[in-house]
Amino acid sequence: MENRLIEVKNLYRYYSKQCAVNNVNFSLNKGEILGFLGLNGAGKSTTMQMIAGNLAPSSGEIFISGIDLKEQPKDAKMRLGFLPEQPPLYHELSVDEYLTYCAKLHRIATSKVKSAVDTAKQRCGLGQTGQRLINNLSKGYKQRVGIAQAIIHSPEVIILDEPTVGLDPVQIMEIRKLITELGQEHGVILSTHILPEVQATCTHVQVIHQGQLIFNAQVSQLQTNIDNVQDYVLGFRSPPKLKELLELNGVIHAELEASGKFRCHFENNQPEVLSYIMQTSLNRDWELIEMTPKQQSLEQIFVDLVSGNDAKVLMQKDRE
């Protein structure tokens, strides 16, 4: 595909006998921002380090803009920009000195270094900070400098690992805006633990758990499922057994809460399902006294996925 920037095929990584990444496959196209989610130790950072060329896979293939990372590492890495969780900053340098150094590392022609530095600063909102020591910048501005070094050579792919950790709400909004802008001209992989960040900035989302990809979908598709699948809290004066609720048509999942009420997932939130529940309650003398909607959140879906309960909410949907 002409716009395909990353192609990951059958990727494995072992640490001794421990399989940290297990047969991972995915792709990234131009104009996409991929939210990469996973619990600590799920294999997320290991996967990103392999894509960035900082860690060799045990087996599998990684292509950057069609270039085999293993066979042509220099050519492939020239098309990558990487911001690790701890930005690789030299605090004793000024912003201009540091970005000039980064430009030279990326083999930007001497005649074009100043222009590249100025462009990176402008894109990252660093226009007035060129002469300031990095050590004297706020954490938010240090993150901006970290992103600037990742994009100074205009790479086709930008990998950002936890770019908003430790920032205040205003800084987070500014970095999210920057990521969205970058996604218009590049392909971006965003690793984050902040789930609302995925909804705010990403076009696609994938979840890795115990080294395996367990979910991959468009964010718009995910939002549709969030809107269409709701939890309902049901209360009864003469409550049925949990098994009886689970046997009802249209009930995807049900669980008993500590309050004695039931939390249920209903199929597509269809009015006929709700009517069926009410009629069944009347027929069986359960005496339904509460039916309160509780809309699914991305956080709850994530918890369901990594706890093995994803079938009750969403099915994995692979992108073509």
* Residue 178 domain-assigned (yes or no): no
Q: Is the pLDDT at 317 greater than 50, yes or no?
A: no
Total of domains in the chain: 2
Mean pLDDT of 29-40: 91
Q: Identify the pLDDT of residue 68.
A: 96
CA distance readout (Å), 188 to 36, 116, 167, 202, 270: 10, 20, 20, 9, 37
Per-residue pLDDT band at 198 (split at 50, 70, 90): confident
* Residue 200 domain-assigned (yes or no): no
CA distance readout (Å), 87 to 70, 105, 125, 192, 272: 25, 16, 17, 15, 53
**pLDDT top residue among 199 and 227:** 199
* Residue 176 domain-assigned (yes or no): no
Structural domain including 286 reads: 230-295
Both tokens of 172, joined, read 């987070």
Domain boundary residue, one of 125, 154, 183: 154
Q: Which of 72-76, 125-129, 263-267, 289-293 has the lowest mean pLDDT?
A: 263-267
SS (H, E, C) the chain: CCCEEEEEEEEEEEECCEEEEEEEEEEEECCCEEEEECCCCCCHHHHHHHHCCCCCCCEEEEEECCEECCCCHHHHHCCEEEECCCCCCCCCCEHHHHHHHHHHHCCCCHHHHHHHHHHHHHHCCCCCCCCCEHHHCCHHHHHHHHHHHHHCCCCCEEEEECCCCCCCHHHHHHHHHHHHHHHHHCEEEEECCCHHHHHHHCCEEEEEECCEEEEEEEHHHHHHHHHHCEEEEEEECCCCCHHHHHCCCCEEEEEECCCCCEEEEEHHHCHHHHHHHHHHHHHCCCCEEEEEEEECCHHHHHHHHHCCCHHHCCCCCCCC
Mean pLDDT of the chain: 87
Determine the Cα–Cα distance for residues 244 and 176; give it in Å rounded to an integer.
46
pTM for this prediction? 0.75
Q: Is the pLDDT at 318 greater than 50, yes or no?
A: no
Q: Identify the pLDDT of residue 297.
A: 66
Which CATH number does the domain housing residue 267 bear?
3.30.70.260
Q: Is the pLDDT at 3 greater than 90, yes or no?
A: no
Q: Which of 27-31, 51-55, 108-112, 271-275 has the lowest mean pLDDT?
A: 271-275
Determine the Cα–Cα distance for residues 178 and 256; give it in Å rounded to an integer.
44
Q: Is the pLDDT at 254 greater than 70, yes or no?
A: yes
* Residue 284 domain-assigned (yes or no): yes
pLDDT in tens, 286-308: 999 998 887 666 776 777 777 76
Mean pLDDT of 272-276: 85
pLDDT in tens, 133-175: 999 999 889 999 999 999 999 999 999 988 887 788 888 888 8
82 pairs with which residues across the strands? 159
Per-residue pLDDT band at 57 (split at 50, 70, 90): very high
Q: Is the pLDDT at 315 greater than 60, yes or no?
A: no
Mean pLDDT of 48-57: 92
Per-residue pLDDT band at 270 (split at 50, 70, 90): low
pLDDT in tens, 203-227: 999 999 999 998 888 887 776 666 6
How many C-beta atoms surround the C-beta of residue 128 within 10 A?
9
Domain boundary residue, one of 107, 125, 154: 154
Both tokens of 280, joined, read 């069944």
Determine the Cα–Cα distance for residues 13 and 47; give it in Å rounded to an integer.
8
pLDDT in tens, 64-95: 999 999 999 999 999 999 998 888 999 999 99
* Residue 28 domain-assigned (yes or no): no
* Residue 270 domain-assigned (yes or no): yes
Mean pLDDT of 263-267: 82
* Residue 313 domain-assigned (yes or no): no
**pLDDT top residue among 151 and 231:** 151
Q: Is the pLDDT at 311 greater than 50, yes or no?
A: no
* Residue 249 domain-assigned (yes or no): yes
